[in-house]
Amino acid sequence: MIPREDEPMTDAQRKGAVLPVAKDPGDAILEFLRLAVASELADAVILPMKVPSGDSYAWILMNDVSLMDDAVPIAAAMPVQGAKALRSLTRKSPGNLTVIAVMRPCEIRAAVELVKLGQVHADNLILATYDCPGAVQLQKYVDDPEGSEEHFSRMLQSGKPDNTAKPVCHYCEEFSMFDSDLHFGYLGLSEKEVLVIPGSDKGSELLAGLGLDPARDLSDWEKGIDSLKVERETARKSAFEETGEQLRGFSGMLSVFANCIGCHNCQSACPICYCRLCYFDSETAQQDPDALITAAAKRGGISLPEDRIMFHVGRMTHMSLSCVSCGQCTDACPVSIPVAGAFSYVADRTQRTFEYKAGRNDGDPLPLRQFRKSELPGIHELVKNAESEGPSHE
Amino acid sequence: MKKEFTPRITSFLCKWCSYTGADLAGTARLQYPTSIIPIQVMCSSRVDPVFLIKAFLSGSDGVLIGGCHPGDCHYETGNYHARRRFAIVMGVFDSLGLESQRLKLSWISASEGPKFARVANEYTEEIMALGENPTRKSIFL
Mean pLDDT of chain B: 93
Stated as kind and residue range, the H or E segment containing A25 is helix A25-38
A132-147: pLDDT as tens digits: 999 999 999 999 999 9
Q: How many CA atoms lie within 13 A of A21 on its CB side?
A: 15
- pLDDT for A381 equals 58
A155-208: pLDDT as tens digits: 998 889 999 999 999 999 999 877 899 999 998 888 788 999 999 999 999 999
Minimum CA–CA partner of A298 in chain B: B137
Answer yes or no: do A383 and B105 touch at CB < 8 A: no
Report whether the peptide linkage leading into residue A305 is cis, meaning its omega lies within 30 degrees of zero.
Answer: yes
Answer yes or no: do B89 and A317 touch at CB < 8 A: yes
- What percent of chain A is modeled with pLDDT above 70? 93
What DSSP designation does A71 have? B
Answer yes or no: do B123 and A383 touch at CB < 8 A: yes
Nearest to B44 by CA among B104, B121, B100, B101: B104
Distance CA A281, CA A78 (A): 26
Query: Would you say residue A295 has pLDDT above 60?
Result: yes
A258-270: pLDDT as tens digits: 999 999 999 999 9
pTM score, two decimals? 0.91
At A123, is the secondary structure helix, strand, or coil? coil
Query: Would you say residue A79 has pLDDT above 90?
Result: yes
Give A391's contacts (C-beta < 8 A, 6+ positions apart): B109, B111, B112
- pLDDT for A382 equals 46
Minimum CA–CA partner of A309 in chain B: B141
Mutate to test the interface with A, among B8, B57, B81, B95 (most CBs of A within 10 A): B95
- pLDDT for A268 equals 94
Q: Are A136 and A152 in contact (CB under 8 A)?
A: yes
Burial of residue A287 (number of CB atoms within 10 Å: 0-12, 13-18, 19+)? middle
Q: Nearest CA of chain A to the CA of B44: how many Å?
A: 13
Q: Are B140 and A309 in contact (CB under 8 A)?
A: yes
A·B CB contacts under 8 A: 155
Answer yes or no: do B87 and A354 touch at CB < 8 A: yes
Confidence of residue A274 (pLDDT cuts 50, 70, 90): very high
Of A249, A313, A382, the CB nearest to B53: A313
In sequence order, the β-bridge partners of residue A195 are: A18, A185
Q: Which residues in chain B have their CB less than 8 angstroms from residue A341's CB?
A: none
Q: Nearest CA of chain A to the CA of B66: how many Å?
A: 10
Report whether the peptide linkage leading into residue A3 is cis, meaning its omega lies within 30 degrees of zero.
Answer: yes
Q: Nearest CA of chain B to the CA of A217: how many Å?
A: 42
CA dihedral sign, ordered A278, A284, A289, A293 = negative
* Mean pLDDT on A62-79: 92
Domain ranges across chain B = 19-134
Confidence of residue A306 (pLDDT cuts 50, 70, 90): confident
Q: Which residues in chain A have their CB less than 8 angstroms from residue B139's CB?
A: 299-303
Q: Nearest CA of chain A to the CA of B19: how many Å?
A: 17
Tell which phi-psi region holds residue A194, choosing left (phi > 0), alpha (psi between -120 and 50) or beta: beta
Of B53, B109, B138, the CB nearest to A317: B53
Of A349, A373, A380, the CB nearest to B107: A380
A352-376: pLDDT as tens digits: 999 999 998 777 889 998 898 888 8
Q: Nearest CA of chain A to the CA of B134: how many Å?
A: 8
